[in-house]
Amino acid sequence: MTLTNAQHGNLKNIILVGFMAAGKSSVGRTLARELGWDFLDTDSEIEKVTGMKIPDMFRKYGEVRFRSEENLVIKKLKDITYTVIATGGGSILFEENRRLLEELGMMVHLYVPVDVALQRVKRRQDRPLFNKSLSEIQKLWQERLVIYNQIPITIDTSARSIEEIAEEILAIVKGG
């Protein structure tokens, strides 16, 4: 079901933000397919630009370098339209990134409780935060939640399917 120009009004893009394992990429792909839009994952774009996997970049160069690459990728998005964008969990921690993403379109916070996020990633070791202690991850989640909660649209992803979450966002886009 592709939205026409008249149906989506001024909506240029949908930007998904939230903690790791909130479902940003999975929901984003499904939502883009439903809308007939493109899908872009900023982490994947960083990997394309740098030629490195994100965990390798964190290990070799640290978070500062990663955040710099992330900012460059976000800056390059300024002219895209009709795209669902999945961002990295820390991308909106920086005021410039937040401002740039807000200018791109409608931001949606995909909320996930920290315990659910940890359950989702415990089998995967390809996350930069995987090497942190439980207390460090909980602290990071708390710090980021303060910023995520500034986004007017929040959807709890903890006990819902990808399709249900995408449908809720579609209903919001349609004004329902």
Across 51-77, average pLDDT: 95
Overall domain count for the chain? 1
* Residue 27, domain extent: 5-173
Provide, rounded to the nearest whole percent, the portion of the chain with pLDDT above 90. Answer: 78
pLDDT in tens, 108-129: 999 999 999 988 887 565 555 5
104 in Cβ contact with 4 (< 8 Å):
no
Query: Residue 78: which CATH number?
Result: 3.40.50.300
Q: Is the pLDDT of residue 71 over 50?
A: yes
Distance in angstroms (rounded) separating the CA atoms of residues 167 and 173:
10
Element (H, E) at 164: helix 162-173
Across 78-107, average pLDDT: 96
Return the closest-CA partner of residue 54 out of 70, 39, 76.
70
Q: Write the CA distances from 46 to 67, 78, 117, 140, integer angstroms.
A: 10, 16, 22, 22
| pTM for the full predicted model | 0.90
